Each structure stands twice: as structure tokens, then as C-alpha cells.
């Protein structure tokens, strides 16, 4: 086994490079990153299947349909609470479903100020199709893991979800009773659902930790990864982030305006993106806070559970070629 800080062959590794690799591993194998990357892969697989079947239904819309189908005629706010959705987001999802003709709202018989909500026949058809496609995407993602590890992983996600600390809103059943796992979802959908719920909870822990620094999660990740890779082009940065260029086009100008990064044109078709001195200084202050919040995501797991979680999720992502390696992204620096 190689000693830490040594290259293959035993020659000393530059301290800067060793530190960068340690920071890269801390980020890549963190609970928040593994959960986010896994959720991204499952959702992408679901949406790809939806396109192939001519179905226009996002995951939140599918979950909302499932909640409404379980409690037809219930209040629209109750349906949102059943999936841990805040009221503004729930209203947005309802409006989208209504425009598609998948749900309909009717005045409440006992309180004219409130609306009850029902699935339409078209909505029920979409729900059944969506459940099948989401289940297929979840099974496809988990396929590299053993059956035993898949069962343990679901139990771990349930354990993470059980400690939501009421932020985001806790899950409730149709009667308003708090629950850990919703009873309105088919069993085959639960692993994918719990993965997404865990991402919600991770964001609810990390986002407030970044707020004092006036950073969003995505902005922080851009700074953190540029601190590891050094100057890089847009292609490499979007690959590192697992984001579309359109998303980067929103984040980068904001960070540039704050003088946290520089964007210079290398060629007619290539930009060089790098942290400024101010960006490095901010990153050095915010990184310990973000990493502490990240560790809190898995603080309710014991050591064995944390190891199984990291090994299983990272193993699946590696099997699918979805987890970056340090050598794929690190750029040499002067003097290194």
C-alpha cells in the first residue's frame, strides 16, 4: 500500500496536490454529494423514460398525484403535506397538473373557502404510467448492488428521513398524523422516493449553514470544486458539477460580480474560470462550516451504516461511470 502523500514509486507528492485530493475525496464521498448525484441519475432515467413514452410528468407531480389518489376529495394543502411539500411549491405543482388536465379542484362542501382535489381519469392513467417508469429507473439504478445491500440502503434512507427536524415540512398522512414513510406510495417506488427525500433534508441542513456567507449550495460547490481543480474551462466545470451549461450560466455571473471568480477567454471557443484571491479567502472560511453541516446529514447513522451507505452508493455510481476521479479533474498548478 502506498503511503499517504507519496506518488506511485514512493516519490514525495507535492503537499498542495495531496491537500487537493483530500478535499476532493471529502466532497465527492460526502453524504450530500452522493445523495445528490444518485438522485440526479434516478430522475434523469425517469425523465428519459417519460420522454420515450410521451409522458410529461415530473417527479414532484407524480408524487402529488399519488397523494391525491390515496385521499381523493382531500384538501389540496393536505396533499402537499403528505409529500413534505411547502404550500407555495404545492400550489405551483397543483397548477401545473390542473393545466395538464390531470387533477381538478372543486369547492369544499363544508367550507367554501377551501378546495378539494381529485385525480381525473387522465391523471390516474398518468399516475399508473409514472409509477411504473419511476420504479424502472430506481431498479435500474440499484441493480449493481446486492439484494442485501439494497434492503440496507432503503433502511438507511428511512433512518435519515426519520430525522427531518421539521425542516423541510414533515411528512403527514391524510389525517395529518406525522409519518416517516408515506403509505400512499407503492413499495417499488419507495427507494427512489426516499433518495429524493434525503436530498431535501440534506439541502435543509446545508443551505442555512451557507446563508451567512450569502452563498447558495450550487454557488458553494462551484467555489469548492474550483479550489480543487484550479483554473478550468466550462466543459470540465459542468462535468464536475454534473450540471447543464444553462445552470452554470446563472451561477457564474453572480460569483464573478462578487469578485469571487474570474472568467477569461482562452480561445474563441473556450473560457478559463478560476477563483480570485477573494474567492479563495471566502472558501477557506465557508468550507469547514459546509463540511460540518454535511456530516450532520448522517449523524444519526452508526459507523457501520455510514460505511455501507458510502460503499454502496459510491459503488453504484462508479459502476455507472457517474462518479469522478481526482485524476480526471485535477489541473497541474505552477510549482506543483
**Helical residues (DSSP H) of 211-259, grouped into ranges:** 217-229, 234-241, 245-257
In terms of domains, do 71 and 163 share one? yes
The predicted structure's pLDDT at residue 336: 37
Q: Which of 166, 183, 199 lies at the terminal end of a domain, its last residue? A: 199
User: 172 in a domain, yes or no?
Assistant: yes
Whether residues 120 and 248 fall in one domain: no
pLDDT at 267 over 70: no
- Tell whether 54 and 94 lie within a shared domain: yes
Q: Specify the DSSP element, H or E, that contains 36.
A: helix 31-52
Residue 213 inside a domain? The answer is yes
Domain membership flag for residue 9 = no
**59 lies in the same domain as 187:** yes
The residue ranking higher by pLDDT, 52 or 190, is 52
Q: Are residues 253 and 165 in the same domain?
A: no
User: Does residue 334 lie in a domain region?
Assistant: no
Which of 171, 199, 227 is at the close of a domain?
199
pLDDT score, position 38: 93
Assign residue 126 the CATH number of its domain: 1.10.10.10
Give the end of a domain, one of 157, 180, 199.
199
Residue 136 pLDDT more than 60? yes
Q: Per-residue DSSP letters for 166-188? A: TSSPPPB-TTS-B-SS-TTS-GG
pLDDT at 145 over 50: yes
Which own/partner pairs from 136-141 qualify as long-range (CB within 8 Å, at least 24 positions apart)?
136/45, 136/49, 137/42, 137/43, 137/45, 137/46, 137/49, 137/192, 138/42, 138/188, 138/189, 138/191, 138/192, 138/195, 139/188, 140/45, 141/38, 141/41, 141/42, 141/45, 141/192, 141/316, 141/320
Instruction: Look at residue 192 in the predicted model and tell me its pLDDT.
Output: 86
270-275 and 115-119 beta bridge pairing: unpaired
**Does 2 map to a domain?**
no
- The whole-number pLDDT of residue 89 equals 84
Residue 253 sits in the same domain as residue 276: yes
Q: What is the mean pLDDT of residues 8-12?
A: 40
With beta carbons less than 8 A apart as the criterion, state whether 153 and 309 touch: yes
CB atoms within 10 A of CB 288: 9
- Residues 35-49 have a mean pLDDT of 93
Cell of 186: 407503492
What domain range includes position 73? 41-199
Overall average pLDDT of the 248-255 stretch: 88
Q: How far is CA 314 from CA 35, 92, 250, 289, 310, in A?
A: 10, 34, 29, 24, 6
Within this chain, do residues 53 and 186 fall inside the same structural domain, yes or no? yes
pLDDT over threshold 70, residue 21: yes
- Shared domain check, 170 and 219: no
Give yes or no: residues 139 and 23 share one domain: no
46 with 192, same domain: the answer is yes
- 76-80, 100-104, 208-212, 248-252: lowest mean pLDDT where? 76-80
Residue 7 lies in a domain: no
For residue 191, what pLDDT is reported? 84
Mean pLDDT, residues 223-235: 84
- Asked if 181 and 112 sit in the same domain, the reply is yes
In the chain, the percentage of residues whose pLDDT exceeds 70 is 83
Q: Dihedral sign for Cα 59, 62, 66, 68, please.
A: positive
Close Cβ partners of 26 (under 8 Å, ≥ 6 residues apart): 291
Query: Could you tell me if 52 and 188 lie in one domain?
Result: yes
Per the structure, the count of domains in the chain is 2
Burial class of residue 334, CB neighbours in 10 A (0-12, 13-18, 19+): exposed
pLDDT at 194: 86
3-state secondary structure of 120: coil
- Strand segments (E) across the chain: 74-75, 103-107, 115-119, 261-267, 270-275
pLDDT digits over 64-116, tens only?
Answer: 898 888 888 887 777 777 777 777 888 899 899 999 999 998 887 777 677 78
Residue 288 forms part of a structural domain: yes
In a domain, 259, yes or no: yes
C-alpha 204 chain-centroid distance: 11
User: What pLDDT is stored for residue 228 in this prediction?
Assistant: 85
Amino acid at each position: 500500500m502506498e503511503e499517504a502523500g507519496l506518488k506511485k514509486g514512493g516519490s514525495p507528492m507535492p503537499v498542495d496536490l495531496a491537500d487537493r485530493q483530500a478535499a476532493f475525496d471529502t466532497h465527492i464521498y460526502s453524504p450530500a454529494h452522493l445523495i445528490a448525484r444518485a438522485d440526479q441519475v434516478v430522475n434523469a432515467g425517469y425523465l428519459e423514460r417519460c420522454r420515450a413514452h410521451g409522458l410529461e410528468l415530473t417527479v414532484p407531480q407524480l408524487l402529488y398525484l399519488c397523494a391525491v389518489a390515496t385521499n381523493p376529495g382531500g384538501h389540496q394543502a393536505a396533499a402537499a403535506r403528505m409529500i413534505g411539500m411547502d404550500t407555495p411549491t404545492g400550489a405551483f405543482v397543483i397548477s401545473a397538473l390542473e393545466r395538464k388536465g390531470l387533477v381538478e379542484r372543486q369547492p369544499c362542501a363544508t367550507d367554501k373557502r377551501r378546495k378539494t382535489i381529485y385525480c381525473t381519469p387522465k391523471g390516474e392513467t398518468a399516475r399508473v404510467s409514472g409509477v411504473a417508469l419511476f420504479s424502472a429507473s430506481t431498479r435500474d439504478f440499484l441493480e449493481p448492488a446486492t439484494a442485501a445491500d439494497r434492503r440496507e440502503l432503503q433502511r438507511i434512507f428511512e433512518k435519515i428521513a426519520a430525522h427531518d427536524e421539521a425542516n423541510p415540512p414533515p411528512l403527514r398522512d391524510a389525517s395529518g398524523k406525522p409519518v416517516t414513510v408515506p403509505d400512499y406510495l407503492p413499495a417499488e417506488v419507495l427507494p427512489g422516493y426516499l433518495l429524493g427525500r434525503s436530498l431535501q433534508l440534506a439541502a435543509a441542513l446545508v443551505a442555512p449553514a451557507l446563508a451567512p456567507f450569502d452563498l447558495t449550495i450550487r454557488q458553494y460547490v462551484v467555489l469548492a470544486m474550483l479550489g480543487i481543480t484550479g483554473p478550468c474551462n466550462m466543459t470540465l466545470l459542468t462535468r464536475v458539477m454534473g450540471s447543464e451549461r444553462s445552470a452554470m450560466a446563472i451561477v457564474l455571473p453572480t460569483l464573478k460580480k462578487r469578485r469571487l471568480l474570474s472568467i477569461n477567454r482562452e480561445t474563441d471557443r473556450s473560457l478559463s474560470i478560476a477563483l480570485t484571491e477573494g474567492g479563495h479567502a471566502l472558501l477557506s472560511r465557508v468550507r469547514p462550516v459546509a463540511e460540518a453541516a454535511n456530516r450532520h446529514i448522517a449523524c444519526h447513522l452508526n459507523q457501520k451504516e455510514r460505511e455501507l451507505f458510502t460503499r454502496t452508493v459510491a459503488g453504484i455510481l462508479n459502476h455507472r461511470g457517474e462518479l469522478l476521479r481526482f485524476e480526471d479533474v485535477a489541473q497541474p498548478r505552477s510549482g506543483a
